[in-house]
Chain A
Amino acid sequence: MRDDSSVVALVARAAGSDQAAWDDLVDRYAPLVWSICARFELSSQDVEDVGQNVWLRLVEQLGNLREPAALPGWLATTTRRECLRVVRAAQRVDIPGDELEERLSPQTDAAAIDQEIIAAERNALLRAALAELPPRCRRLLSMLISDPPRSYAEISAVLGIRIGSIGPERGRCLERLRRSEFLTGLSDDEFAAARLSVPGSEPHA
């Protein structure tokens, strides 16, 4: 697992008394907690309960995490355990933990959760890097990745740059993004590796 010193710093600040640091942690990792709940296909009420329990447990544990850098793994494990508890309660039968795990689909097994952790860490770093780009780059890249996609004509009109300049400017902004301290050491292949499920994203020589 990548050593992300900024997570360690955020955990330390939140363990003191710093709501902003806590909010940062939540914003970074709420998608991880959410995506694991989604794999279990819980009702929205159950997802809410799981989420609240996970974050409350983290509040309790802030000062005691043995490895703050491994927070994403801790969150994923805690979320999965909470999801299993909800699933077990819904079935109203006493299935031992191990057996229940065996019955789970590959959607929710440990390997699938590991994939979510890797993707979530990468996504958090990418969003952090994007957030600290100069406003002009941030706006351009945000428009380029928006859903549904914007046309170059639209981007040109909104940002006031010529259509012919969008390509080169895009390249410069992405280059800047790559140099972000959040992404140091991450190769393009590693970005691609996080996106195994997306066709056409396989690494090339």
Chain B
Amino acid sequence: MRDARDDERLLAALRDAERARRAVPDGFVQAARAAYAWHNLEAELAQLTYDSQRDDAAAATVRAETASVRALTFTSASVTIELEVTGRSVLGQISPFREGTVEARTSAGAVVTVPVDEIGCFAVDPKPASPFRLRCRTVDGADVVTGLIML
């Protein structure tokens, strides 16, 4: 049967549960809630199909030569997005070439929008300080979002 010690234990368990919740900073929770903004975008997801850091990791010589620039390729049914990340910026090209806009959105919610020129080129400069995704919208109606990019 229950006794006073059972009540004490249940209260202690409740106290632990509340303490664990209070330990989490408000900003941490707010950022997590904000991540839902990325859900159900009416955009096509472009998958990471090439990452020099990952795919060339086995070939040490290649990596040594290309250490200063990281190359990434994202592919969707309608477009391919090729990125070069330098120390300072992210340079990209959308193919097939066409104009549009690119939106870089960090997981913290900061958004930078840059134009895409007639040969599909764009630059995000300076590059985002935290992990981000790119959403590319072109004049002919393509709307593509990349997976999370961590530099």
Contacts and interface: CB of A to CB of B under 8 A. Distances in A.
Interface string B10-33: 111111111111111001110111
Given A52-B35, A52-B107, A177 B10 contact: yes
Interface residues of A, number: 52
Given A178-B10, A198-B16, A59 B31 contact: no
Contacts of A22: 33, 36, 39
A141 B40 CA distance: 40
Given A34-B24, A56-B107, A123 B35 contact: no
Contact of B32 (A14, A19, A55): A55
Given A51-B32, A52-B131, A204-B5, A31 B38 contact: no
Contact of B130 (A31, A49, A195): A49
Interface string B50-64: 000000000000000
Q: In the complex, which of the residues B6, B24, B27 has the most CB atoms of chain A within 10 Å of its own CB atom? A: B24
Contact of A59 (B20, B28, B35): B35
28 contacts: A14-B36, A22-B36, A23-B33, A26-B29, A26-B33, A30-B24, A30-B32, A34-B24, A48-B130, A49-B130, A52-B32, A52-B108, A53-B131, A55-B35, A55-B107, A56-B35, A56-B107, A62-B39, A124-B17, A142-B18, A145-B14, A145-B18, A178-B10, A188-B2, A188-B10, A191-B9, A194-B16, A195-B16
